[in-house]
Structure 1
Protein backbone atom coordinates (compact mmCIF):
# COMPACT_ATOMS: atom_id res chain seq x y z
CA UNK A 1 0.00 0.00 0.00
CA UNK A 2 1.33 3.44 -0.92
CA UNK A 3 2.36 5.61 1.98
CA UNK A 4 -0.12 8.42 2.61
CA UNK A 5 0.91 12.02 2.03
CA UNK A 6 1.65 14.33 4.97
CA UNK A 7 -1.24 16.70 5.81
CA UNK A 8 -1.56 19.78 3.61
CA UNK A 9 -1.32 22.06 6.67
CA UNK A 10 2.25 20.80 7.28
CA UNK A 11 3.26 21.84 3.76
CA UNK A 12 1.50 25.21 4.09
CA UNK A 13 3.32 25.90 7.36
CA UNK A 14 6.66 24.93 5.79
CA UNK A 15 6.10 27.05 2.69
CA UNK A 16 5.14 30.16 4.65
CA UNK A 17 8.02 29.73 7.12
CA UNK A 18 10.45 29.20 4.24
CA UNK A 19 9.36 32.42 2.55
CA UNK A 20 9.35 34.43 5.76
CA UNK A 21 12.29 32.63 7.41
CA UNK A 22 10.45 33.25 10.66
CA UNK A 23 7.85 31.09 12.43
CA UNK A 24 6.13 34.08 14.02
CA UNK A 25 5.71 35.90 10.71
CA UNK A 26 4.47 32.69 9.07
CA UNK A 27 1.95 32.23 11.87
CA UNK A 28 0.59 35.74 11.38
CA UNK A 29 0.26 35.15 7.64
CA UNK A 30 -1.56 31.83 8.08
CA UNK A 31 -3.68 32.84 11.05
CA UNK A 32 -2.09 30.15 13.25
CA UNK A 33 -0.20 30.34 16.49
CA UNK A 34 3.59 30.35 16.35
CA UNK A 35 3.67 27.05 18.21
CA UNK A 36 1.27 25.45 15.70
CA UNK A 37 3.49 26.45 12.75
CA UNK A 38 6.57 25.15 14.55
CA UNK A 39 4.82 21.88 15.37
CA UNK A 40 3.61 21.41 11.79
CA UNK A 41 7.12 21.99 10.42
CA UNK A 42 8.66 19.64 12.99
CA UNK A 43 6.09 16.98 12.11
CA UNK A 44 6.94 17.34 8.40
CA UNK A 45 10.66 17.04 9.15
CA UNK A 46 10.05 13.91 11.18
CA UNK A 47 7.86 12.42 8.46
CA UNK A 48 10.40 13.14 5.70
CA UNK A 49 13.38 12.20 7.84
CA UNK A 50 15.31 15.41 7.08
CA UNK A 51 15.99 18.77 8.69
CA UNK A 52 14.38 21.57 6.67
CA UNK A 53 15.48 24.58 8.73
CA UNK A 54 18.46 25.59 10.79
CA UNK A 55 17.05 27.29 13.89
CA UNK A 56 19.22 30.31 14.74
CA UNK A 57 18.91 33.03 17.35
CA UNK A 58 18.14 35.64 14.67
CA UNK A 59 15.71 33.52 12.69
CA UNK A 60 15.64 30.57 10.34
CA UNK A 61 17.71 29.47 7.38
CA UNK A 62 16.89 26.71 4.94
CA UNK A 63 18.97 23.57 4.76
CA UNK A 64 19.87 22.07 1.38
CA UNK A 65 16.88 19.75 1.76
CA UNK A 66 14.62 22.71 2.57
CA UNK A 67 15.81 24.62 -0.51
CA UNK A 68 15.11 21.56 -2.64
CA UNK A 69 11.61 21.12 -1.24
CA UNK A 70 10.43 24.74 -1.30
CA UNK A 71 9.89 25.25 -5.06
CA UNK A 72 8.09 21.94 -5.35
CA UNK A 73 5.74 22.73 -2.46
CA UNK A 74 5.15 26.27 -3.69
CA UNK A 75 4.29 25.01 -7.16
CA UNK A 76 1.97 22.33 -5.77
CA UNK A 77 0.08 24.82 -3.59
CA UNK A 78 -0.38 27.16 -6.54
CA UNK A 79 -1.63 24.27 -8.68
CA UNK A 80 -4.18 23.39 -6.01
CA UNK A 81 -5.31 27.03 -5.78
CA UNK A 82 -5.71 27.20 -9.57
CA UNK A 83 -7.69 23.94 -9.58
CA UNK A 84 -10.05 25.26 -6.89
CA UNK A 85 -10.55 28.56 -8.71
CA UNK A 86 -11.65 26.64 -11.78
CA UNK A 87 -14.76 25.46 -9.94
CA UNK A 88 -15.76 28.85 -8.58
CA UNK A 89 -17.37 30.01 -11.79
CA UNK A 90 -21.02 29.21 -12.46
CA UNK A 91 -24.56 30.59 -12.18
CA UNK A 92 -24.60 33.29 -9.53
CA UNK A 93 -28.19 34.58 -9.71
CA UNK A 94 -29.83 34.25 -6.30
CA UNK A 95 -26.74 32.43 -5.05
CA UNK A 96 -25.31 33.36 -1.66
CA UNK A 97 -21.80 32.07 -0.92
CA UNK A 98 -20.97 31.56 2.75
CA UNK A 99 -17.39 30.85 3.83
CA UNK A 100 -16.94 29.31 7.26
CA UNK A 101 -15.27 26.43 9.01
CA UNK A 102 -17.01 23.07 8.85
CA UNK A 103 -17.46 23.37 12.62
CA UNK A 104 -19.56 26.53 12.29
CA UNK A 105 -21.55 25.21 9.33
CA UNK A 106 -22.38 21.98 11.17
CA UNK A 107 -22.86 23.10 14.77
CA UNK A 108 -24.15 26.68 14.41
CA UNK A 109 -25.81 27.09 11.02
CA UNK A 110 -27.15 23.67 9.98
CA UNK A 111 -29.44 23.08 13.01
CA UNK A 112 -31.44 26.23 12.16
CA UNK A 113 -30.90 26.61 8.43
CA UNK A 114 -34.47 25.59 7.52
CA UNK A 115 -35.67 28.69 9.36
CA UNK A 116 -33.53 30.95 7.18
CA UNK A 117 -34.57 29.14 4.01
CA UNK A 118 -38.21 29.70 4.94
CA UNK A 119 -37.50 33.42 5.07
CA UNK A 120 -35.61 33.45 1.76
CA UNK A 121 -37.10 30.58 -0.28
CA UNK A 122 -35.70 31.79 -3.61
CA UNK A 123 -32.15 32.10 -2.36
CA UNK A 124 -29.65 29.32 -3.14
CA UNK A 125 -26.82 28.74 -0.69
CA UNK A 126 -23.25 27.66 -1.34
CA UNK A 127 -21.02 26.81 1.63
CA UNK A 128 -17.23 26.97 1.28
CA UNK A 129 -15.18 25.28 3.99
CA UNK A 130 -12.31 27.31 5.43
CA UNK A 131 -9.95 26.87 8.39
CA UNK A 132 -7.44 29.72 8.69
CA UNK A 133 -7.97 33.47 8.18
CA UNK A 134 -5.83 33.52 5.04
CA UNK A 135 -8.17 30.98 3.41
CA UNK A 136 -10.64 33.83 2.95
CA UNK A 137 -8.19 35.53 0.59
CA UNK A 138 -8.63 32.72 -1.93
CA UNK A 139 -12.44 32.43 -1.96
CA UNK A 140 -15.06 34.86 -3.12
CA UNK A 141 -17.78 34.81 -0.50
CA UNK A 142 -20.70 37.09 0.30
CA UNK A 143 -20.68 36.05 3.97
CA UNK A 144 -17.51 35.18 5.87
CA UNK A 145 -17.25 33.72 9.39
CA UNK A 146 -13.51 33.61 10.14
CA UNK A 147 -11.93 32.41 13.39
CA UNK A 148 -9.04 34.27 14.96
CA UNK A 149 -8.11 37.33 16.96
CA UNK A 150 -9.47 40.81 16.31
CA UNK A 151 -6.12 41.87 14.80
CA UNK A 152 -6.23 38.92 12.37
CA UNK A 153 -9.84 39.39 11.32
CA UNK A 154 -9.91 43.20 11.07
CA UNK A 155 -12.29 45.86 12.27
CA UNK A 156 -14.97 45.07 9.71
CA UNK A 157 -15.90 41.85 11.48
CA UNK A 158 -18.68 41.58 14.08
CA UNK A 159 -17.60 39.31 16.93
CA UNK A 160 -20.16 36.56 17.46
CA UNK A 161 -21.38 35.82 20.96
CA UNK A 162 -21.17 33.92 23.19
CA UNK A 163 -17.39 34.05 23.25
CA UNK A 164 -14.99 32.13 25.43
CA UNK A 165 -14.44 28.43 26.01
CA UNK A 166 -16.47 25.90 27.98
CA UNK A 167 -15.88 22.25 28.91
CA UNK A 168 -18.36 19.72 27.52
CA UNK A 169 -18.85 15.97 27.90
CA UNK A 170 -21.39 13.29 27.01
CA UNK A 171 -24.21 12.92 29.55
CA UNK A 172 -23.09 9.37 30.34
CA UNK A 173 -19.48 10.27 31.14
CA UNK A 174 -19.31 10.27 34.93
CA UNK A 175 -16.81 11.66 37.38
CA UNK A 176 -15.27 15.01 38.32
CA UNK A 177 -13.59 17.02 35.58
CA UNK A 178 -10.13 16.69 37.17
CA UNK A 179 -10.32 12.89 36.74
CA UNK A 180 -11.71 12.73 33.19
CA UNK A 181 -9.78 12.29 29.91
CA UNK A 182 -9.38 15.47 27.90
CA UNK A 183 -9.71 16.30 24.20
CA UNK A 184 -7.48 19.12 22.89
CA UNK A 185 -8.15 21.25 19.80
CA UNK A 186 -4.68 22.08 18.45
CA UNK A 187 -3.81 25.21 16.49
CA UNK A 188 -5.69 27.59 18.79
CA UNK A 189 -4.09 29.95 21.28
CA UNK A 190 -6.06 28.84 24.35
CA UNK A 191 -6.57 25.33 25.62
CA UNK A 192 -6.44 23.04 28.62
CA UNK A 193 -3.11 24.45 29.81
CA UNK A 194 -4.75 27.87 30.28
CA UNK A 195 -7.71 26.20 32.01
CA UNK A 196 -5.25 24.59 34.41
CA UNK A 197 -3.66 27.96 35.14
CA UNK A 198 -6.90 29.92 35.54
CA UNK A 199 -9.65 27.54 36.67
CA UNK A 200 -8.15 24.45 38.29
CA UNK A 201 -6.24 21.17 37.92
CA UNK A 202 -7.03 18.74 35.12
CA UNK A 203 -5.25 15.80 33.51
CA UNK A 204 -3.03 16.13 30.44
CA UNK A 205 -5.00 15.82 27.15
CA UNK A 206 -5.09 12.33 25.63
CA UNK A 207 -6.84 13.01 22.32
CA UNK A 208 -5.81 15.76 19.87
CA UNK A 209 -7.96 17.03 16.98
CA UNK A 210 -7.65 19.91 14.51
CA UNK A 211 -10.99 21.62 15.05
CA UNK A 212 -13.58 22.40 17.71
CA UNK A 213 -16.17 20.54 15.64
CA UNK A 214 -14.13 17.33 15.76
CA UNK A 215 -13.66 17.82 19.50
CA UNK A 216 -17.43 18.11 19.94
CA UNK A 217 -17.97 14.87 18.02
CA UNK A 218 -15.34 13.07 20.09
CA UNK A 219 -16.92 14.30 23.30
CA UNK A 220 -20.44 13.37 22.18
CA UNK A 221 -19.25 9.77 21.74
CA UNK A 222 -18.04 9.66 25.34
CA UNK A 223 -14.31 9.85 24.58
CA UNK A 224 -13.54 12.66 26.99
CA UNK A 225 -14.12 16.32 27.79
CA UNK A 226 -13.78 18.91 25.02
CA UNK A 227 -12.83 22.54 25.67
CA UNK A 228 -14.57 24.37 22.84
CA UNK A 229 -15.99 27.69 21.75
CA UNK A 230 -19.19 28.49 23.62
CA UNK A 231 -20.66 29.65 20.30
CA UNK A 232 -20.42 26.14 18.86
CA UNK A 233 -21.78 24.55 22.04
CA UNK A 234 -25.24 26.08 22.03
CA UNK A 235 -27.03 23.52 19.88
CA UNK A 236 -25.14 20.59 21.41
CA UNK A 237 -26.31 21.69 24.86
CA UNK A 238 -29.90 22.51 23.94
CA UNK A 239 -30.30 19.19 22.10
CA UNK A 240 -28.87 17.21 25.01
CA UNK A 241 -26.00 15.75 23.01
CA UNK A 242 -23.54 17.23 25.50
CA UNK A 243 -23.62 18.69 29.00
CA UNK A 244 -21.34 21.05 30.90
CA UNK A 245 -18.44 19.26 32.57
CA UNK A 246 -17.87 22.33 34.74
CA UNK A 247 -19.84 25.53 35.43
CA UNK A 248 -16.65 27.52 34.84
CA UNK A 249 -15.84 29.23 31.56
CA UNK A 250 -12.64 30.66 30.16
CA UNK A 251 -11.88 33.86 28.31
CA UNK A 252 -10.25 33.37 24.92
CA UNK A 253 -7.98 35.58 22.83
CA UNK A 254 -9.71 34.25 19.69
CA UNK A 255 -13.26 33.90 18.50
CA UNK A 256 -15.62 33.80 15.53
CA UNK A 257 -16.43 36.94 13.54
CA UNK A 258 -19.03 37.78 10.91
CA UNK A 259 -18.49 40.04 7.93
CA UNK A 260 -20.42 40.46 4.70
CA UNK A 261 -19.99 41.99 1.27
CA UNK A 262 -21.81 45.34 1.37
CA UNK A 263 -24.98 45.86 -0.65
CA UNK A 264 -25.67 42.15 -1.16
CA UNK A 265 -29.31 41.73 -0.02
CA UNK A 266 -28.99 38.01 0.68
CA UNK A 267 -25.85 38.61 2.74
CA UNK A 268 -27.54 41.28 4.80
CA UNK A 269 -30.53 38.99 5.38
CA UNK A 270 -28.25 36.14 6.47
CA UNK A 271 -26.31 38.45 8.82
CA UNK A 272 -29.50 39.74 10.43
CA UNK A 273 -30.94 36.23 10.79
CA UNK A 274 -27.79 34.75 12.32
CA UNK A 275 -27.36 37.58 14.84
CA UNK A 276 -31.03 37.28 15.77
CA UNK A 277 -30.71 33.53 16.18
CA UNK A 278 -27.66 33.85 18.44
CA UNK A 279 -29.32 36.57 20.52
CA UNK A 280 -32.35 34.33 21.10
CA UNK A 281 -30.27 31.28 22.11
CA UNK A 282 -30.40 30.18 25.77
CA UNK A 283 -27.77 31.71 28.04
CA UNK A 284 -25.03 29.16 28.74
CA UNK A 285 -23.19 31.08 31.41
CA UNK A 286 -20.76 33.92 31.82
CA UNK A 287 -17.08 33.77 31.00
CA UNK A 288 -14.39 34.07 33.66
CA UNK A 289 -10.61 34.02 33.76
Structure 2
Protein backbone atom coordinates (compact mmCIF):
# COMPACT_ATOMS: atom_id res chain seq x y z
CA UNK A 1 0.00 0.00 0.00
CA UNK A 2 1.34 3.42 -0.96
CA UNK A 3 2.11 5.59 2.07
CA UNK A 4 0.35 8.95 2.02
CA UNK A 5 2.48 12.04 1.63
CA UNK A 6 2.90 14.54 4.48
CA UNK A 7 1.30 17.99 3.98
CA UNK A 8 3.12 20.25 1.54
CA UNK A 9 3.45 23.03 4.13
CA UNK A 10 5.47 20.68 6.39
CA UNK A 11 7.88 20.02 3.54
CA UNK A 12 8.08 23.73 2.69
CA UNK A 13 8.97 24.53 6.29
CA UNK A 14 11.60 21.81 6.35
CA UNK A 15 13.19 22.98 3.09
CA UNK A 16 13.42 26.60 4.24
CA UNK A 17 14.75 25.69 7.69
CA UNK A 18 17.30 23.30 6.19
CA UNK A 19 18.48 25.91 3.72
CA UNK A 20 18.88 28.62 6.38
CA UNK A 21 19.60 26.33 9.35
CA UNK A 22 17.27 28.57 11.31
CA UNK A 23 13.59 28.24 12.19
CA UNK A 24 13.36 32.01 12.67
CA UNK A 25 14.78 32.90 9.25
CA UNK A 26 12.66 30.21 7.60
CA UNK A 27 9.56 31.63 9.26
CA UNK A 28 10.33 35.13 8.00
CA UNK A 29 10.78 33.81 4.46
CA UNK A 30 7.58 31.80 4.22
CA UNK A 31 5.36 34.11 6.26
CA UNK A 32 4.73 32.00 9.36
CA UNK A 33 5.69 32.33 12.98
CA UNK A 34 8.81 30.62 14.31
CA UNK A 35 6.68 28.38 16.50
CA UNK A 36 4.55 27.32 13.51
CA UNK A 37 7.63 26.29 11.54
CA UNK A 38 9.02 24.43 14.55
CA UNK A 39 5.69 22.66 15.10
CA UNK A 40 5.39 21.62 11.46
CA UNK A 41 8.91 20.21 11.42
CA UNK A 42 8.25 18.29 14.63
CA UNK A 43 5.13 16.88 12.98
CA UNK A 44 7.17 15.87 9.93
CA UNK A 45 9.79 14.18 12.11
CA UNK A 46 7.07 12.28 13.92
CA UNK A 47 5.46 11.27 10.64
CA UNK A 48 8.74 10.03 9.17
CA UNK A 49 10.00 8.50 12.41
CA UNK A 50 13.41 10.18 12.15
CA UNK A 51 15.09 13.29 13.55
CA UNK A 52 15.86 15.81 10.82
CA UNK A 53 17.63 18.51 12.83
CA UNK A 54 19.98 18.71 15.77
CA UNK A 55 18.81 21.68 17.80
CA UNK A 56 21.75 23.65 19.21
CA UNK A 57 21.51 26.73 21.42
CA UNK A 58 22.89 28.89 18.60
CA UNK A 59 21.25 27.27 15.62
CA UNK A 60 20.45 24.09 13.78
CA UNK A 61 22.37 21.28 12.12
CA UNK A 62 20.98 18.69 9.77
CA UNK A 63 21.12 15.06 10.78
CA UNK A 64 22.14 12.44 8.22
CA UNK A 65 18.45 11.81 7.57
CA UNK A 66 17.88 15.54 7.08
CA UNK A 67 20.75 15.81 4.60
CA UNK A 68 19.35 12.88 2.61
CA UNK A 69 15.84 14.33 2.59
CA UNK A 70 16.71 17.91 1.58
CA UNK A 71 17.51 17.34 -2.12
CA UNK A 72 14.52 15.02 -2.43
CA UNK A 73 12.22 17.78 -1.15
CA UNK A 74 13.92 20.71 -2.88
CA UNK A 75 13.70 19.24 -6.38
CA UNK A 76 9.88 18.80 -6.50
CA UNK A 77 9.29 22.18 -4.85
CA UNK A 78 11.40 23.83 -7.54
CA UNK A 79 9.55 21.83 -10.20
CA UNK A 80 6.18 23.01 -8.86
CA UNK A 81 7.35 26.63 -8.94
CA UNK A 82 8.50 26.28 -12.56
CA UNK A 83 5.24 24.59 -13.54
CA UNK A 84 3.21 27.55 -12.28
CA UNK A 85 5.11 30.11 -14.35
CA UNK A 86 3.06 31.24 -17.30
CA UNK A 87 0.01 29.11 -16.47
CA UNK A 88 -2.29 32.06 -15.71
CA UNK A 89 -3.15 33.31 -19.20
CA UNK A 90 -6.78 34.32 -18.73
CA UNK A 91 -7.67 37.88 -19.77
CA UNK A 92 -7.87 40.21 -16.79
CA UNK A 93 -10.68 42.50 -17.99
CA UNK A 94 -13.61 42.54 -15.52
CA UNK A 95 -11.87 39.84 -13.49
CA UNK A 96 -11.14 40.50 -9.81
CA UNK A 97 -8.58 38.11 -8.36
CA UNK A 98 -8.44 37.68 -4.58
CA UNK A 99 -5.62 35.87 -2.83
CA UNK A 100 -6.35 34.79 0.73
CA UNK A 101 -6.27 31.82 3.05
CA UNK A 102 -9.11 29.31 3.16
CA UNK A 103 -10.07 30.73 6.57
CA UNK A 104 -10.58 34.23 5.14
CA UNK A 105 -12.36 32.90 2.05
CA UNK A 106 -14.72 30.86 4.22
CA UNK A 107 -15.50 33.32 7.03
CA UNK A 108 -15.07 36.77 5.43
CA UNK A 109 -15.30 36.67 1.63
CA UNK A 110 -18.06 34.09 1.12
CA UNK A 111 -20.60 35.92 3.36
CA UNK A 112 -20.04 39.15 1.37
CA UNK A 113 -19.77 37.71 -2.12
CA UNK A 114 -23.46 37.69 -3.03
CA UNK A 115 -23.88 41.36 -2.11
CA UNK A 116 -20.68 42.24 -3.98
CA UNK A 117 -21.80 40.35 -7.11
CA UNK A 118 -25.23 42.03 -6.96
CA UNK A 119 -23.52 45.44 -6.91
CA UNK A 120 -21.12 44.55 -9.71
CA UNK A 121 -22.78 41.82 -11.82
CA UNK A 122 -20.35 42.22 -14.73
CA UNK A 123 -17.34 41.51 -12.52
CA UNK A 124 -15.99 37.97 -12.48
CA UNK A 125 -14.41 36.92 -9.21
CA UNK A 126 -11.59 34.44 -8.78
CA UNK A 127 -10.53 33.39 -5.28
CA UNK A 128 -7.11 31.80 -4.93
CA UNK A 129 -5.93 30.01 -1.83
CA UNK A 130 -2.65 31.59 -0.72
CA UNK A 131 -0.61 31.04 2.43
CA UNK A 132 3.09 31.28 1.58
CA UNK A 133 4.70 34.53 0.35
CA UNK A 134 5.55 32.67 -2.86
CA UNK A 135 1.82 32.05 -3.37
CA UNK A 136 1.10 35.78 -3.26
CA UNK A 137 4.05 36.63 -5.51
CA UNK A 138 2.87 34.23 -8.21
CA UNK A 139 -0.86 34.98 -8.20
CA UNK A 140 -0.76 38.62 -9.36
CA UNK A 141 -3.91 39.17 -7.31
CA UNK A 142 -5.84 42.44 -7.21
CA UNK A 143 -6.64 42.00 -3.52
CA UNK A 144 -4.36 40.20 -1.07
CA UNK A 145 -5.15 39.29 2.53
CA UNK A 146 -2.17 37.93 4.43
CA UNK A 147 -1.82 36.60 7.95
CA UNK A 148 1.16 37.30 10.17
CA UNK A 149 2.98 40.15 11.81
CA UNK A 150 3.13 43.64 10.30
CA UNK A 151 6.74 42.97 9.31
CA UNK A 152 5.79 39.77 7.53
CA UNK A 153 2.88 41.43 5.72
CA UNK A 154 5.07 44.23 4.36
CA UNK A 155 4.86 48.03 4.49
CA UNK A 156 2.26 48.25 1.72
CA UNK A 157 -0.31 46.21 3.67
CA UNK A 158 -2.76 47.74 6.14
CA UNK A 159 -3.74 45.96 9.33
CA UNK A 160 -7.34 44.78 9.49
CA UNK A 161 -8.93 45.60 12.83
CA UNK A 162 -9.98 44.36 15.30
CA UNK A 163 -7.00 42.03 15.60
CA UNK A 164 -7.27 40.93 19.24
CA UNK A 165 -8.29 37.40 20.22
CA UNK A 166 -11.70 36.53 21.66
CA UNK A 167 -13.12 33.34 23.15
CA UNK A 168 -16.09 31.92 21.21
CA UNK A 169 -18.33 28.87 21.44
CA UNK A 170 -21.58 27.54 19.99
CA UNK A 171 -24.67 29.32 21.45
CA UNK A 172 -26.18 25.99 22.51
CA UNK A 173 -23.08 24.93 24.43
CA UNK A 174 -23.49 25.50 28.14
CA UNK A 175 -20.49 26.55 30.22
CA UNK A 176 -17.50 28.82 29.80
CA UNK A 177 -13.75 28.73 29.40
CA UNK A 178 -13.33 27.02 32.77
CA UNK A 179 -15.79 24.24 31.98
CA UNK A 180 -15.50 23.40 28.28
CA UNK A 181 -12.75 21.89 26.11
CA UNK A 182 -10.36 24.55 24.86
CA UNK A 183 -9.42 24.73 21.18
CA UNK A 184 -5.88 25.95 20.50
CA UNK A 185 -4.49 27.40 17.27
CA UNK A 186 -0.85 26.34 17.20
CA UNK A 187 1.83 28.46 15.56
CA UNK A 188 0.61 31.81 16.84
CA UNK A 189 2.25 33.96 19.51
CA UNK A 190 -0.87 34.31 21.67
CA UNK A 191 -3.16 31.56 22.87
CA UNK A 192 -4.66 30.10 26.00
CA UNK A 193 -1.36 30.54 27.86
CA UNK A 194 -1.60 34.28 27.20
CA UNK A 195 -5.20 34.16 28.41
CA UNK A 196 -4.04 32.50 31.64
CA UNK A 197 -1.40 35.20 32.17
CA UNK A 198 -3.63 38.17 31.42
CA UNK A 199 -7.23 37.22 32.23
CA UNK A 200 -7.60 34.11 34.36
CA UNK A 201 -5.93 30.74 34.69
CA UNK A 202 -7.56 28.11 32.50
CA UNK A 203 -6.86 24.42 31.92
CA UNK A 204 -4.68 23.42 28.98
CA UNK A 205 -6.15 22.98 25.53
CA UNK A 206 -7.34 19.55 24.43
CA UNK A 207 -8.08 20.24 20.74
CA UNK A 208 -5.42 21.65 18.40
CA UNK A 209 -5.55 23.06 14.89
CA UNK A 210 -3.29 25.27 12.77
CA UNK A 211 -5.69 28.02 11.62
CA UNK A 212 -8.14 30.38 13.28
CA UNK A 213 -10.67 29.44 10.61
CA UNK A 214 -10.64 25.79 11.60
CA UNK A 215 -10.72 26.70 15.30
CA UNK A 216 -13.78 28.87 14.63
CA UNK A 217 -15.41 26.06 12.65
CA UNK A 218 -14.82 23.59 15.49
CA UNK A 219 -16.28 26.01 18.02
CA UNK A 220 -19.36 26.66 15.88
CA UNK A 221 -20.03 22.91 15.83
CA UNK A 222 -19.99 22.68 19.60
CA UNK A 223 -16.55 21.17 20.15
CA UNK A 224 -15.49 23.68 22.80
CA UNK A 225 -14.21 27.23 23.21
CA UNK A 226 -11.84 28.66 20.59
CA UNK A 227 -9.60 31.69 20.96
CA UNK A 228 -9.74 33.36 17.54
CA UNK A 229 -9.10 36.61 15.71
CA UNK A 230 -11.99 39.02 16.37
CA UNK A 231 -12.23 40.27 12.76
CA UNK A 232 -12.42 36.74 11.40
CA UNK A 233 -15.15 35.84 13.88
CA UNK A 234 -17.34 38.93 13.31
CA UNK A 235 -19.73 37.38 10.76
CA UNK A 236 -20.11 34.22 12.84
CA UNK A 237 -20.97 36.37 15.88
CA UNK A 238 -23.39 38.61 13.98
CA UNK A 239 -25.29 35.64 12.53
CA UNK A 240 -25.39 33.68 15.78
CA UNK A 241 -23.17 30.82 14.65
CA UNK A 242 -21.05 31.48 17.73
CA UNK A 243 -21.27 33.60 20.83
CA UNK A 244 -18.57 35.01 23.07
CA UNK A 245 -17.74 32.67 25.93
CA UNK A 246 -16.15 35.50 27.92
CA UNK A 247 -16.23 39.31 27.53
CA UNK A 248 -12.43 39.69 27.75
CA UNK A 249 -9.87 39.60 24.94
CA UNK A 250 -6.10 39.30 24.61
CA UNK A 251 -3.80 41.10 22.16
CA UNK A 252 -1.99 39.23 19.41
CA UNK A 253 1.22 39.97 17.53
CA UNK A 254 -0.22 38.44 14.35
CA UNK A 255 -3.29 39.46 12.42
CA UNK A 256 -4.72 39.90 8.95
CA UNK A 257 -3.35 42.51 6.56
CA UNK A 258 -4.89 43.75 3.33
CA UNK A 259 -3.26 45.24 0.27
CA UNK A 260 -4.51 46.20 -3.17
CA UNK A 261 -2.00 45.59 -5.93
CA UNK A 262 -3.97 47.09 -8.80
CA UNK A 263 -5.95 50.24 -9.53
CA UNK A 264 -9.20 48.38 -10.24
CA UNK A 265 -12.18 50.13 -8.73
CA UNK A 266 -13.68 46.73 -7.88
CA UNK A 267 -10.67 46.04 -5.64
CA UNK A 268 -11.24 49.30 -3.79
CA UNK A 269 -14.91 48.43 -3.33
CA UNK A 270 -14.08 45.01 -1.91
CA UNK A 271 -11.52 46.57 0.41
CA UNK A 272 -14.18 48.88 1.87
CA UNK A 273 -16.51 45.93 2.38
CA UNK A 274 -13.88 43.86 4.18
CA UNK A 275 -12.72 46.70 6.44
CA UNK A 276 -16.21 47.68 7.62
What range describes the TM-score normalised by the shorter chain of this pair?
Answer: over 0.9
Does the alignment pair 1:56 with 2:64?
Answer: no
Does the alignment pair 1:100 with 2:100?
Answer: yes
List alignment gaps of at least 5 residues for structure 1.
Answer: 279-289
TM-score (norm 1): 0.90
8 Å contact kept, 2:168–2:242: yes
For residues 47 and 257 of structure 1, the distance between their equivalents in structure 2, rounded to whole angstroms, comes to: 33
Equivalent runs, 1:62-81 vs 2, <5 Å: 62-81=62-81
Does the alignment pair 1:138 with 2:138?
Answer: yes
1:156-197 CA-partner distances (Å, limit 9, x unpaired): 112112221110001111123212101111122211111111
Partner of 1:166: 166
Equivalent runs, 1:176-191 vs 2, <5 Å: 176-191=176-191
For residues 52 and 228 of structure 1, the distance between their equivalents in structure 2, rounded to whole angstroms, comes to: 32
Structure 1 segments of 4+ aligned residues over 6 angstroms from their partners: none
For residues 180 and 7 of structure 2, the distance between their equivalents in structure 1, rounded to whole angstroms, comes to: 30
Deviation at 1:211, TM superposition (A): 1.1
Partner of 1:234: 234
8 Å contact kept, 1:132–1:147: no
Deviation at 1:25, TM superposition (A): 0.9
State the secondary structure of the residue aligned to 1:234.
helix
8 Å contact kept, 1:31–1:134: no
List alignment gaps of at least 5 residues for structure 2.
Answer: none
State the secondary structure of the residue aligned to 2:13.
helix
Higher relative contact order (CA 8 A, sep 6+): 2
Distance 1:242-1:50 versus aligned 2 partners, 3 A rule: same
Deviation at 1:251, TM superposition (A): 1.1
TM-score (norm 2): 0.94
Partner of 2:207: 207
Equivalent runs, 1:13-24 vs 2, <5 Å: 13-24=13-24
For residues 88 and 193 of structure 1, the distance between their equivalents in structure 2, rounded to whole angstroms, comes to: 44
Count of residue pairs brought into register by the alignment: 276
State the secondary structure of the residue aligned to 1:228.
strand
Deviation at 1:266, TM superposition (A): 2.4
Equivalent runs, 1:273-284 vs 2, <5 Å: 273-275=273-275, 278=276
Deviation at 1:100, TM superposition (A): 0.7
Does the alignment pair 1:264 with 2:245?
Answer: no
For residues 235 and 85 of structure 1, the distance between their equivalents in structure 2, rounded to whole angstroms, comes to: 36
